[in-house]
Amino acid sequence: ELKVEQNPLFLSMQEGKNYTIYCNYSTTSDRLYWYRQDPGKSLESLFVLLSNGAVKQEGRLMASLDTKARLSTLHITAAVHDLSATYFCAVSNYGGSQGNLIFGKGTKLSVKP
């Protein structure tokens, strides 16, 4: 059974600081997603990582994937208040319902001035 674990679940950081969110998954998958969710809203797609060693960057966010370690990271550089949200990683479950996504529990990020 595919399991996805994120840590930390809560993250309070000051503006300007750097931090990393970790996403571990339990079985082989070559497709990992990062999403952002604002309160009361649906998911906003941030990154799709398709292969080992993949690295993608958008603004202050950078995501990477190590399929051998079954680990993805979401690195936040010089955080700003606008990044406050809940971030989810999700992995394609090829052994499940036609490749549905298994989500981590989410990391609630709060960036304080």
Partner 1 sequence: GAVVSQHPSWVICKSGTSVKIECRSLDFQATTMFWYRQFPKQSLMLMATSNEGSKATYEQGVEKDKFLINHASLTLSTLTVTSAHPEDSSFYICSARGLAVISTDTQYFGPGTRLTVL
- Min separation Cβ 20 and partner 1, Å: 20
d(CA 12, CA 1): 32
Residue with tokens 């993250």: 11
Instruction: For residue 53, list its beta bridge partners.
Output: none
Closer residue to partner 1 (CB): 22 or 77: 22
Closer residue to partner 1 (CB): 64 or 86: 86
- Min separation Cβ 77 and partner 1, Å: 25
What's the helix, strand, coil split of the chain in %, to 5?
Answer: 5, 55, 40
d(CA 84, CA 58): 16
Q: Which residues bind partner 1 (CB under 8 A)?
A: 31, 35, 40-43, 45, 48, 88, 90, 92, 96-106
- Min separation Cβ 100 and partner 1, Å: 5
Closer residue to partner 1 (CB): 24 or 106: 106
Look up residue 103 and give its two tokens: 């989500």
